[in-house]
Amino acid sequence: MMNIKILYFLILTSFFNCTLLFSQDYEQPEDETLDDPFSKPTLWARLKTTPEDDDLWQKYFGKDLFELSEEEYTYYEQLRNKLIQDNIEWVEEVESKKNIRLQKQRNVISKEDPYYLSLLENITRNFAMIELYFYDEFEKYNSEYVTYEEVYPNGDYNKRTWVTENDKRLKELKMSYYSQHTETSEY
């Protein structure tokens, strides 16, 4: 009779200890930021970037997701949803930074040089000066400016159209230049 009581006590305490251990393993941290609950840093790092990958979750939990108990599955869903939300917030933050950077680029590019603007007031009279401006600006952005006379030696193309086309090309060069140089410095 005594042996049965001891055995019963041992079974109950074992069950209680297992339940206690289980609840500690699957209890979600109180903290908003999730650390690696199962101390599997390589898998956790991959899950943080691709939380939708069920194969990774199976490796992380050490068993098929269909074999998880109800508590384990609930905890899996909580972890997965939290990582997905964190991932969405991170992507939104990166997109926001990119949009801000692009807006800054557009602002820099759209600011016209007052000297250049004054030359545009009379393209016919200032055409030689406009070409010098283009030459300097294209060179600044590592591109070569081909003069009107080189392309149209007979002068049979509208100079205003020529200026408009090269102005557009210059803005594209600036945009490309600023994209390349700000992308690497901010990220």
Q: What is the pLDDT at residue 21?
A: 42
Same-domain check for residues 120 and 178? yes
Q: What is the pLDDT at residue 34?
A: 66
Q: What is the pLDDT at residue 71?
A: 92
In a domain, 64, yes or no: yes
Q: Among 96, 129, 146, where does a domain finish?
A: 96
What percentage of the chain reaches a pLDDT higher than 90? Answer: 45
Q: What is the pLDDT at residue 23?
A: 42
Same-domain check for residues 43 and 88? yes
Q: What is the pLDDT at residue 132?
A: 96
Q: Is the pTM of this model over 0.95?
A: no
Q: What's the structural domain count of the chain? A: 2
Q: 105: which residues sit within 8 A by CB, 6+ positions away?
A: 175, 178, 179, 182
Q: Among 96, 120, 151, where does a domain finish?
A: 96
In a domain, 24, yes or no: no
- Determine the structural domain holding residue 119 and report its residue range: 112-186
Q: 29-59 b/e with 16+ CB inside 10 Å = b?
A: eeeeebeeeeeeeebbeebeeebeeeebbbe
Q: Among 96, 129, 148, where does a domain finish?
A: 96
Q: 135: which residues sit within 8 A by CB, 6+ positions away?
A: 145, 147
31-35, 37-41, 50-54, 92-96: segment of lowest average pLDDT: 31-35
With cut-offs at 50, 70 and 90, classify the pLDDT of residue 1.
Answer: low
What percentage of the chain reaches a pLDDT higher than 70? Answer: 74
Mean pLDDT of the 95-119 span: 78
Residue that wins the pLDDT comparison between 34 and 67: 67
Q: Among candidates 109, 123, 118, which has minimal Cα distance to 159?
A: 123
d(Cα 111, Cα 61) in Å, to the nearest integer?
A: 56
> pLDDT digits over 40-49, tens only?
999 999 999 8
Q: What is the pLDDT at residue 174?
A: 86
Distances (CA, A) of 149 to 11, 127, 128, 135, 169: 98, 11, 10, 13, 18
d(Cα 10, Cα 165) in Å, to the nearest integer?
A: 88
